[in-house]
């Protein structure tokens, strides 16, 4: 008769983090610039709100979902006399890759708090993985620039390396396999998008959502810091509510606030709690 293993009560073993809006590119600005330039090349103006809608998904899928928006479909029909099809989406993705590489190059600074989190994890022998909705062809420069700033994840997975991207759990599960971690309950997914949080939940991990540094607010670090506390709260509240409704175990402003959550997860694991 099969016997389940003893419930895990050990420490956090791995942290899996997203890139844009989580560890680099405060406000997740690079993808937006790429999508807006892409649609502009087709004579269609794409608003920032529209561009952010599918954020967190694999980028070809992101383009497909944008092309499903009724306003975009109508604009496309006016421009080209037909609705966008799979051939159009393939061509757009091919054009998007160099646009995204260029945008990423201009938005690769580490978000404040990443270095401190990495040091905290290193002292506890916690493994670090990263995954992204970016394609493999887009990230070589990003990885190089992050490494120069001291961030070198032990496992790196792109959406194009798995059969399905977020919210499916496959990227995070591949991270875990590459890191050699046995217990999913010992893993934490940190992300700034709802699909990324769902990815972690579907993988059986703890999740920490970042409400203010990424897609939900969408402001650069300078623009965010220029707001008054009351103005920041106007942005923060709906973002936090969305992530709480979406099932995130923790919701904080930025990666700088994540260590407190990780310490609490360690205490909860020790007391027998599971994600």
- Intervals of CATH 1.10.150.240 along the chain: 30-105
Q: Are 50 and 69 in contact (CB under 8 A)?
A: yes
Positions marked catalytic: 18, 59
What values do phi and psi take at 134, rounded to 5? -65, 150
Tens-of-pLDDT digits for all 275 residues of the chain?
A: 444 557 899 999 999 999 999 999 999 998 898 999 999 999 999 999 999 999 888 899 999 999 999 999 999 999 999 999 999 999 999 999 999 898 888 889 999 999 999 999 999 999 999 999 998 988 999 999 999 999 999 999 999 999 999 999 999 999 999 999 999 999 999 999 999 999 999 999 999 999 999 999 999 999 999 999 999 999 999 999 999 999 999 999 999 999 999 999 999 999 999 99
Which residues does residue 189 pair with via DSSP β-bridges, in sequence order? Answer: 16, 207
- CA gap 92, 75 in Å, rounded: 16
- Intervals of CATH 3.40.50.1000 along the chain: 14-28+109-270
* CATH 3.40.50.1000 at 14-28+109-270, yes or no: yes
In the numeric block, which tokens belong to residue 203? 């993988």
Q: Are 208 and 189 in contact (CB under 8 A)?
A: yes
pTM of structure:
0.89
Q: What is the DSSP string of 251-270?
A: EESSGGGHHHHHHHHHHHHH
Q: Assign a CATH topology to domain 30-105.
A: DNA polymerase; domain 1 (1.10.150)
Q: What is the DSSP string of 158-226?
A: EGGGSSS-TTSSHHHHHHHHHHT---GGGEEEEESSHHHHHHHHHTT-EEEEESSSSTTT---HHHHHT
Distance from the Cα of residue 205 to its chain's centroid: 15
């Amino acid at each position: 008769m099969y016997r389940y293993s003893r419930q895990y009560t050990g420490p956090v073993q791995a942290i899996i983090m997203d890139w844009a809006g989580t560890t680099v590119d405060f406000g997740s600005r690079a993808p937006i610039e790429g999508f807006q330039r892409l649609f502009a090349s087709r004579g269609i103006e794409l608003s920032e709100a529209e561009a952010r809608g599918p954020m967190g998904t694999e980028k070809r899928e992101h383009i497909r979902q944008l092309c499903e928006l009724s306003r975009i479909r109508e604009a496309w029909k006016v421009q080209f006399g037909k609705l966008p099809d799979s051939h159009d989406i393939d061509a757009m993705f091919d054009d998007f890759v160099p646009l995204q590489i260029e945008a990423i190059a201009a938005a690769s600074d580490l978000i404040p708090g990443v270095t401190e989190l990495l040091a905290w994890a290193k002292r506890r022998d916690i493994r670090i993985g990263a995954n992204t909705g970016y394609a493999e062809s887009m990230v070589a420069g990003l990885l190089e620039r992050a490494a120069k700033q001291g961030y070198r994840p032990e496992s790196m997975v792109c959406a194009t390396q798995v059969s399905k991207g977020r919210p499916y759990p496959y990227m995070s599960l591949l991270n875990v396999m590459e890191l050699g971690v046995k217990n999913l309950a010992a893993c934490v997914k940190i992300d700034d998008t709802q699909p990324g949080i769902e990815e972690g939940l579907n993988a059986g991990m703890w999740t920490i959502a970042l409400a203010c540094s990424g897609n939900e607010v969408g402001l650069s670090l300078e623009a965010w810091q220029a707001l008054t506390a009351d103005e920041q709260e106007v942005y923060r509240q709906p973002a936090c509510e969305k992530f709480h409704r979406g099932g995130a175990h923790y919701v904080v402003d930025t990666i700088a606030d994540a260590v407190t959550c990780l310490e609490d997860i360690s205490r909860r694991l020790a007391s027998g709690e599971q994600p």
